[in-house]
Amino acid sequence: MTPTLLEDLLHEVAAGRLSPVKAVDRLRRLPFEDLSFARVDHHRALRQGHPEVIFCAGKTVEQVVLIAERLVEANGAFLGTRATDAMATALQARFPGLEWNPLARTVHLPACPPAPRRAVGTILVISAGTSDLPVAEEAAVTAEAFGHTVARLCDVGVAGIHRLLAANERLQEADVVIVAAGMEGALPSVVGGLVRVPVIAVPTSVGYGASFGGLAALLAMLNSCAAGVTVVNIDNGFGAAAAASRILGA
Amino acid sequence: MTPTLLEDLLHEVAAGRLSPVKAVDRLRRLPFEDLSFARVDHHRALRQGHPEVIFCAGKTVEQVVLIAERLVEANGAFLGTRATDAMATALQARFPGLEWNPLARTVHLPACPPAPRRAVGTILVISAGTSDLPVAEEAAVTAEAFGHTVARLCDVGVAGIHRLLAANERLQEADVVIVAAGMEGALPSVVGGLVRVPVIAVPTSVGYGASFGGLAALLAMLNSCAAGVTVVNIDNGFGAAAAASRILGA
Amino acid sequence: MTPTLLEDLLHEVAAGRLSPVKAVDRLRRLPFEDLSFARVDHHRALRQGHPEVIFCAGKTVEQVVLIAERLVEANGAFLGTRATDAMATALQARFPGLEWNPLARTVHLPACPPAPRRAVGTILVISAGTSDLPVAEEAAVTAEAFGHTVARLCDVGVAGIHRLLAANERLQEADVVIVAAGMEGALPSVVGGLVRVPVIAVPTSVGYGASFGGLAALLAMLNSCAAGVTVVNIDNGFGAAAAASRILGA
Amino acid sequence: MTPTLLEDLLHEVAAGRLSPVKAVDRLRRLPFEDLSFARVDHHRALRQGHPEVIFCAGKTVEQVVLIAERLVEANGAFLGTRATDAMATALQARFPGLEWNPLARTVHLPACPPAPRRAVGTILVISAGTSDLPVAEEAAVTAEAFGHTVARLCDVGVAGIHRLLAANERLQEADVVIVAAGMEGALPSVVGGLVRVPVIAVPTSVGYGASFGGLAALLAMLNSCAAGVTVVNIDNGFGAAAAASRILGA
Amino acid sequence: MTPTLLEDLLHEVAAGRLSPVKAVDRLRRLPFEDLSFARVDHHRALRQGHPEVIFCAGKTVEQVVLIAERLVEANGAFLGTRATDAMATALQARFPGLEWNPLARTVHLPACPPAPRRAVGTILVISAGTSDLPVAEEAAVTAEAFGHTVARLCDVGVAGIHRLLAANERLQEADVVIVAAGMEGALPSVVGGLVRVPVIAVPTSVGYGASFGGLAALLAMLNSCAAGVTVVNIDNGFGAAAAASRILGA
Amino acid sequence: MTPTLLEDLLHEVAAGRLSPVKAVDRLRRLPFEDLSFARVDHHRALRQGHPEVIFCAGKTVEQVVLIAERLVEANGAFLGTRATDAMATALQARFPGLEWNPLARTVHLPACPPAPRRAVGTILVISAGTSDLPVAEEAAVTAEAFGHTVARLCDVGVAGIHRLLAANERLQEADVVIVAAGMEGALPSVVGGLVRVPVIAVPTSVGYGASFGGLAALLAMLNSCAAGVTVVNIDNGFGAAAAASRILGA
Amino acid sequence: MTPTLLEDLLHEVAAGRLSPVKAVDRLRRLPFEDLSFARVDHHRALRQGHPEVIFCAGKTVEQVVLIAERLVEANGAFLGTRATDAMATALQARFPGLEWNPLARTVHLPACPPAPRRAVGTILVISAGTSDLPVAEEAAVTAEAFGHTVARLCDVGVAGIHRLLAANERLQEADVVIVAAGMEGALPSVVGGLVRVPVIAVPTSVGYGASFGGLAALLAMLNSCAAGVTVVNIDNGFGAAAAASRILGA
Amino acid sequence: MTPTLLEDLLHEVAAGRLSPVKAVDRLRRLPFEDLSFARVDHHRALRQGHPEVIFCAGKTVEQVVLIAERLVEANGAFLGTRATDAMATALQARFPGLEWNPLARTVHLPACPPAPRRAVGTILVISAGTSDLPVAEEAAVTAEAFGHTVARLCDVGVAGIHRLLAANERLQEADVVIVAAGMEGALPSVVGGLVRVPVIAVPTSVGYGASFGGLAALLAMLNSCAAGVTVVNIDNGFGAAAAASRILGA
């Protein structure tokens, strides 16, 4: 309920075109209207810069399809994360243009014609090892769906540091860097020391024994000796992309 | 060792002005030179966008003064965090222009003439409660020392949500938001839902019993339901400011 | 063994109608009799205000049906929580009037004629997200089975705070509020600041990575900055309803 | 900002007595006014049923006295928790009528004439051992300051269960029961099985070794087999009293 | 290698009936012989008072049958814990006299004729709830297989404390008490206050949410306010029986 | 309230010498009488086999002296654990016969004439290292105060296993073994394999870094591969002695 | 990029046989070439002393076969750990000479002719119990594949310490000792006290209840009272072998 | 008790020069003799390759001096770790030749004439930051006291990776590398990828907030992606040196 909207409404009252009782009612309902499903989405797009995303985990195939249909009605597009094969199959049957990335577990129906690519910057998504790729890809696909340009750099873990140093130029060209790493989670510290742009660290649950489901990498990243590295939840590639999108002014 | 530098050096060799043996030696030393104290600082300024900062905790008063002196020689300025009263007193005796903020536990000797204020954006530093102020102030003072414009918003915890909503305009004017909160650490989630710019959450160790020294707030922030909120270490106001500085293109 | 019962027994002894030896025996057995299955139930109803509830998890279908039959004999009604589909199917075959709520995983055979609805107050059950609904519904169904009036409010997580504020009137009408939330568990703090009636927080295991099975939400709720919010175990919708029932004088 | 207030304001606009621009301004400021210190307190009293309480821990003596003075100006009374001896001494010098309870670490200046005692019910505060008394007393003093009638029962730990059973009548007379216990935290389960009124469990940090600062008692209470027992933070006697006050309709 | 054995051997040497070299060899082998499978068992029976027990978890059906056969050869009897249905079926086919307890997950082939029951005392095995029965039964069956007299007391959780008090006479008749309890693990504290004989507490993994797989009960039992209660590992009914057997002088 | 007492009372009623109303009153009070301070102690001595012990930690010097005086009045003796030097000095001034053990932090006033030494068995108290001695001594002094014969074995940690093996005869002579160990807490497992009598393991907080205040030793002892080893709380030498005393039929 | 290679390249430039621009290009690519799959392997063999190992967990059968093929092309040999039966079957079909160890879950294709066995020392792999064998065997097979001589010692847990002492001669012959143990993880401490060569401790996840997936053993080993024992991750037999190989100068 | 010693003894018996009874006695005492203080030390030197070390923490100044005196009597030298200033002062007064390193908190009295330096290899001790120096120095001083050659490399944390790469030659010259690092503990992974010799990682408690006293670094090091890195306890520089000494064949 922006000041402008409120002023308009009050002018209506002042002009006698709206009774105080009805004005109260409308005022009360204005914030309510975004409770209806389609408006929620619209409102979020205005507020957050990108449409609502379906977090598919824990939902039935039917629920996912239903939500996707309503988002398509409203926006002509949708993005879903943590989609199972069954969900992807059902959605492909319903939406022929669907882009399914099984590694990233994402389903994306792009707008048609596609939204113009935002030119403001490049998000570099780095993964420490091949096992971190599902999380890194979730970040990459989400960022692309939000309209950003994405570069990828894979398998540059710190135990073979020359692999990362060899990619220095690509590091320097990025505007935001997302680093997905499991095990000891050391890569964001090294990257953070090499670039001056924002570095978003994503701990992954890759590892065994005393990795405790990603806790080791999470703690390491929070304690990074590279100043200004920030962290998101374990395996949360989507969250990292959302953070990068906030930075690039999505 | 940028490609340009390397090309120059190789042209010297090609021109016979530098023998291969000496070239090898210089190549090996080039990256070494930044090991000398003053150069380290210079190098970091180039690489990271801001000079080295003294983390005073665990150092003696003498060590802090000595390091400050070397930084002043190199840069004419320095910033120290977690400074004790004794450190601040000793530094004030040595550097009359010192700015000491006892709440933030920071000591700052600005450059003279002062570095021009960077115009690119405003960092809004929010604290949930008055007990979170030392952490919030560490973030604010650091950001100012790095050349940014800082706004502050205090005591807007979620148990009196109207206090935050009343400040909505200030929220909307920020380019980056830092949120320091202890106890249940809920504030970044609410702020993250109200703004579309980057939100950096700083859990504080404020609380008792089952806050476990800030763990409760840390976990809450990592699990924020507001997409794209990122997190730094407990009580790490400096890190939050460094992250904000990366975002604003420090 | 209430004082009245004891006095009656002693009068029998004083009147010579009961020998001291038999009295001792009966005294010893009196508290034992409620060990027989039917009396246990009766006794609890007197003591706690509601009949025994079957916690179905970890029991066989046969065991659940058997216990249900004995409760029906004693009370003409029963409530079961954490019921599987197989349990519900078997119980429906046995008790045609069974009410099965698959989302809440509850099975309820109401008394016939139904117990009069208790008029003393309304329990508002709030869920932060749709994934918290099973826990919220377990609370709601339990409260209704205990004879209370229940209102529901869904999907009002703190990242879109306007959704909760829009429901302010419904919040103000409640006599007790149960709030089920996973992830960062921030909703009870916000609700606790908006109402003056009791707020019972139920952390849910919804979330991934560093939610650690609901630990993040649990710690957040225990550290709520809203004074007087109380907490039950993770996913314990039943316990929240039982607490609300204690409050309303069930 | 109640609907009534809003309707009045809109009637003013409709009647031409208030310009739309000024109305917008007043609407924006209405919720702001409770940001001024004295009003905050007033607003909370309306919203929560009791005035703001000073959490003295981590504040200086001067800050505590200053805040107390402002609360006295507004309400003629105040309550402080976790007060040090130095704070109490300074406050006694300033407010001769101050009631200081060193065991509970509370400072209370009652209103004069005293607020009428609320008649609606009795809060029974139980402590498992003598070491739990500081927490139990914090709860008792807070509840009394909020206008409730308080009864106390001490040193009835479960290892000598007859002590608790002997106090059964006092248990049955309570309207709300607060149970403070450290070590294994078993007492709330036993109490919860004996009474049908609300039971609020307060884990204390009493214990050593594997009590881990109250964690053992906290977990035990969250897992209570007595249905409907709720829990507050470790050592949080104030929070338990606030919860009890919500229940009794403070 | 008892002194007697050693003296005998040395007398052989002194008498010239055994060469020093052979004596060294035999000395070295004497402790080794118990490495051969059958002797291990014999040796342990001497050292620990009961034959080796098969911990079936993580073994194949074939391995379990093979080990059982070797134990029967040596002792004419065996006990297995954590046996699956498949293991029990295979063992029953092989040993018609097998006693299988599916609830306790034990398989026991008693000696024939049975070993005389040891008369020295009674082990009372108490379970807090029906869900704790598998652990309690593992303790009971193990104790019986070790030759002890066992009494059982079920479903006497602390939330209905009268059930335990009603069984006071049985408590007083026990020589050792084993208490299996999950959730808040409070029962051993209450029992420990009622009896003066040894109390062995077994935390069970029964519970959900913040029971964290039995951690809550474990910590509670370690912090018992009843002096002299000891604790074994979570769900370790076997260990509790072995401890009781040590006490009764097995 | 033994059956005998109850029968007597009922005979009084049957004989008309006691009215039913008074009988009810007396029945209710009988268990109450042990609430008076002196009787509590008496009652515990009957119920638990040893008088109440003062846990001095967290008490003032005055409180400790007062409690000691009341125990001396009732029993002519007392034992206190975790006594500070100040407490011991004050108690020595008041009770010339006091035995103060600064290493064990115990204060003991033996009965005069001394209680006859119980002949039933020997408790062997083993400490892994010299740093574990305070905990081991607390166990030894407590056991002696409870009337038991105590033997000691020091500094036999597992890293020099021959030291333990050399003491095998002393191990075999013990009737109960208490083992205090910090760091990796391995000693009880080795001891448990060498003796067939009860072994009570006491983890100590000795160690640094990843011992986490005794957690490492605690977990190790709970997971002992020697069947039938039981565990008490970290640093709880008193609890181990109380457990040993239960075993020896104190 | 060794100094020699660099000097050669610079001589080429100095001699005019290589233009500076091309030299820069080659310099940049030199470290890149080991990014191509086959060279990575070669490079690691030079740097670490053994070829790359396939960690099969989390890979598909096809991926494993593909990687194995490329390693065979480059080296004529490969080693895989954590291989499933399906992987082993597929690899056996493809490489007839494959050595599959189902207990260790390893697949190994030795070079043909086999690499000469390194003579420098013996690695003794000890397992505390039979359940620790998979981890111990992973260590043993890996060490053998790296060219070392391996000895094995099984089932020598500390609860029967004589079994370990009986093997003293084998202990004294080892050059490096790897000790795999679960439960209380005490074996490395005892072994560390018996030998003076390096001891590498591998905690296993064997155990239940409070072993917390190997945490108990891990903490015990980190706190070993035997000086100089080092630790690798839970269940990480491969890592222990790699560490032993570093020690023996692989 | 080596076989040789045993054979000698048996020959004595066979020759009639030693009676069987006396032989038994001597056999029993042989392993006992190293229980006397001086022999313990001697024995350890033989068994472990270096004399006993005084862990001064938790000892009194008097105890430390006394132990030092006995070690000097036996060996003419000693090493103490975690020594306070008071201990060092007292020891210096007693032993003029004492070498005190306040940063490492070590006190060392070298043998006179000094033991010949062992020539077998160099231990490189690396510290990530200046705050890790006390731990690194404890390792370095211990290694030197054990007779090894030590090199040092300081302040080469991963956030400025070029500093480490610049020291590559020194890395390659080491025979064993000890890496002390706090915060995210990433340095051992990078070092482990650069060298093929043994790498011993020492997590330090340096860091704040979510470093949890070194837990973050410990977990990171245990999860190192560089194969064959081993780990010792938090802050345990002594343990790392002892491990290195085992490797170099001390």
User: What pLDDT, on the 0 to 100 scale, is given for residue A41?
Assistant: 37
Residue F148 main-chain phi, psi, to 5 deg: -100, 160
**Range with the lowest mean pLDDT among A37-41, B99-103, E148-152?**
A37-41
Which of these, G216, E177, E218, lies nearest to F233 by C-alpha position? E218
User: What pLDDT, on the 0 to 100 scale, is given for residue F31?
Assistant: 38
Contact partners for chain E, using 3 or more CB pairs closer than 8 A, are C, D, F, G, H
* Set of chain A residues whose Cβ sits within 8 Å of the Cβ of G215: 210
Separation between Cα atoms, residue H55 and residue H138, nearest integer Å: 12
CB-based contact, B17 to chain D, within 8 Å? no
* pLDDT single digits (tens) B41-94: 334 444 455 667 898 988 889 989 998 998 888 778 999 999 999 999 999 999
Q: Which residues fall within 8 angstroms of residue G24, CB to CB, at 6 or more apart?
A: B3, B6, B7, B10
pLDDT at position E47 over 50: no
* pLDDT single digits (tens) E59-84: 889 989 998 998 888 778 999 999 99
Question: In what side-by-side order are the strands of the sheet with D54-55?
Answer: D54-55, D78-81, D106-109, D99-101
Of G157, G185, G227, the CB nearest to F184: G185
List the single residue in F with minimal CA-CA distance to E229.
F243
Of F159, F193, F223, the CB nearest to G161: F193
Interface contacts A/B by beta carbons within 8 Å: 81
Separation between Cα atoms, residue F179 and residue F58, nearest integer Å: 27
pLDDT at position D36 over 70: no
**Range with the lowest mean pLDDT among D73-77, D169-173, F36-40, F185-189?**
F36-40
Decide if C236 and E131 are in contact by the 8 Å CB cutoff.
no
Query: Average pLDDT for residues C136-154, to the nearest whole number?
Result: 95
Can chain A be said to touch chain H, i.e. do they have 3 or more Cβ pairs within 8 angstroms?
yes
Q: Are B157 and B190 in contact (CB under 8 A)?
A: no
Separation between Cα atoms, residue G80 and residue B91, nearest integer Å: 60
pLDDT at position H112 over 60: yes
CB-based contact, H237 to chain G, within 8 Å? no
CB-based contact, B182 to chain H, within 8 Å? no
Query: Average pLDDT for residues H23-39, to the nearest whole number?
Result: 41
CB-based contact, C162 to chain A, within 8 Å? yes
List the single residue in B with minimal CA-CA distance to H208.
B234
- The DSSP-derived string for chain E is --HHHHHHHHHHHHTTSS-HHHHHHHHHHHHHHTTSHHHHHHHHHHHHSS---EE-TT--HHHHHHHHHHHHHHHS-EEEES--HHHHHHHHHH-TT-EEETTTTEEEE--SSPPPPP-S-EEEEEESSGGGHHHHHHHHHHHHHTT-EEEEEE---GGGHHHHHTTHHHHHH-SEEEEEE-TT--HHHHHHHH-SS-EEEEE-----GGGGGGHHHHHHHHT-SSTTEEE--TT-HHHHHHHHHHHTT-
Query: Average pLDDT for residues C94-117, to the nearest whole number?
Result: 89
User: What pLDDT, on the 0 to 100 scale, is given for residue D40?
Assistant: 36
User: What pLDDT, on the 0 to 100 scale, is given for residue A149?
Assistant: 94
Give CA separation, B210 vs C66, C159, C223, E170, E172, in Å. 42, 24, 7, 40, 40
List the single residue in B with minimal CA-CA distance to C228.
B159
Chain E: closest CA distance from residue D220 (Å): 4
Burial class (CB in 10 A: 0-12, 13-18, 19+), A207: buried
pLDDT band at C190 (very low <50, low <70, confident <90, very high): very high
Separation between Cα atoms, residue D250 and residue D119, nearest integer Å: 11
User: What pLDDT, on the 0 to 100 scale, is given for residue F208?
Assistant: 81
Helix (H) or strand (E) holding D143: helix D133-145
Separation between Cα atoms, residue B122 and residue G31, nearest integer Å: 42
User: What pLDDT, on the 0 to 100 scale, is given for residue H19?
Assistant: 74
CB-based contact, B160 to chain D, within 8 Å? yes
pLDDT at position D25 over 90: no
pLDDT at position G74 over 60: yes
User: What pLDDT, on the 0 to 100 scale, is given for residue A249?
Assistant: 85
pLDDT band at C6 (very low <50, low <70, confident <90, very high): low
CB-based contact, A17 to chain D, within 8 Å? no
The residue ranking higher by pLDDT, H32 or B128, is: B128
Separation between Cα atoms, residue B200 and residue B181, nearest integer Å: 11
Tokens (6 digits) for C202: 């139920």
pLDDT band at G61 (very low <50, low <70, confident <90, very high): very high
pLDDT at position E201 over 90: yes
CB-based contact, B233 to chain A, within 8 Å? yes
Chain G: closest CA distance from residue H103 (Å): 22
Separation between Cα atoms, residue F92 and residue F90, nearest integer Å: 5
Can chain A be said to touch chain E, i.e. do they have 3 or more Cβ pairs within 8 angstroms?
no
List the single residue in H with minimal CA-CA distance to A191.
H159
CB-based contact, E130 to chain F, within 8 Å? no
Cα angle G34-G37-G41, degrees, rounded to a multiple of 5: 70
Q: Are G69 and G53 in contact (CB under 8 A)?
A: no
Contact partners for chain H, using 3 or more CB pairs closer than 8 A, are A, B, E, F, G
What type of residue sits at position B128?
A
List the single residue in H with minimal CA-CA distance to B82.
H208
pLDDT at position C118 over 80: no
pLDDT at position G156 over 50: yes
Separation between Cα atoms, residue F70 and residue F94, nearest integer Å: 13
Q: Which residues of chain B have pLDDT under 70?
A: 1-11, 20-51, 115-119, 250
Decide if A230 and B232 are in contact by the 8 Å CB cutoff.
yes
Of H3, H13, H27, the CB nearest to E13: H13
DSSP F114: P
Helix (H) or strand (E) holding A239: helix A237-247
Mean pLDDT, all residues of chain D: 84
Query: Average pLDDT for residues E166-185, to the nearest whole number?
Result: 93
pLDDT at position A2 over 60: no
Residue with tokens 């630790």: G231
User: What pLDDT, on the 0 to 100 scale, is given for residue D81?
Assistant: 95
pLDDT band at E179 (very low <50, low <70, confident <90, very high): very high
pTM: 0.85
pLDDT at position E41 over 50: no
* Set of chain F residues whose Cβ sits within 8 Å of the Cβ of D165: 31
Separation between Cα atoms, residue C225 and residue D48, nearest integer Å: 13
User: What pLDDT, on the 0 to 100 scale, is given for residue F162?
Assistant: 81
Decide if E20 and H27 are in contact by the 8 Å CB cutoff.
no
User: What pLDDT, on the 0 to 100 scale, is given for residue F34?
Assistant: 34
* Set of chain G residues whose Cβ sits within 8 Å of the Cβ of H249: 197
Which residues is E203 bridged to in the sheet?
E181
Q: Are A162 and A191 in contact (CB under 8 A)?
A: no
Give a three-class secondary structure readout of H211-234: HHHHHHHHHHHHCCCCCCEEECCC
Query: Average pLDDT for residues H216-222, to the nearest whole number?
Result: 96
What type of residue sits at position A139?
A
Tell me how crowded residue E119 is: count the other CB atoms within 10 A of its CB: 9
* pLDDT single digits (tens) G39-56: 333 344 444 556 678 989
pLDDT at position F73 over 80: yes
Helix (H) or strand (E) holding G124: strand G122-127
Interface contacts E/H by beta carbons within 8 Å: 37
Tell me how crowded residue B157 is: count the other CB atoms within 10 A of its CB: 25
pLDDT band at H38 (very low <50, low <70, confident <90, very high): very low
Of G166, G208, G209, the CB nearest to E35: G166
Decide if E10 and H7 are in contact by the 8 Å CB cutoff.
no
pLDDT band at D112 (very low <50, low <70, confident <90, very high): confident
Decide if H232 and G231 are in contact by the 8 Å CB cutoff.
yes
Query: Average pLDDT for residues E204-210, to the nearest whole number?
Result: 89
pLDDT band at C25 (very low <50, low <70, confident <90, very high): low
Q: Are F222 and E231 in contact (CB under 8 A)?
A: yes
Question: In what side-by-side order are the strands of the sheet with E54-55?
Answer: E54-55, E78-81, E106-109, E99-101
Residues 31-90 of E with CB under 8 A from G: 31-32, 34-35, 40, 44, 57-58
Residue H176 main-chain phi, psi, to 5 deg: -140, 145
Q: Which residues fall within 8 angstroms of residue E160, CB to CB, at 6 or more apart?
A: C40, C44, D193
3-class secondary structure, G68: helix
Enter the ipTM: 0.82
Decide if G246 and H196 are in contact by the 8 Å CB cutoff.
yes
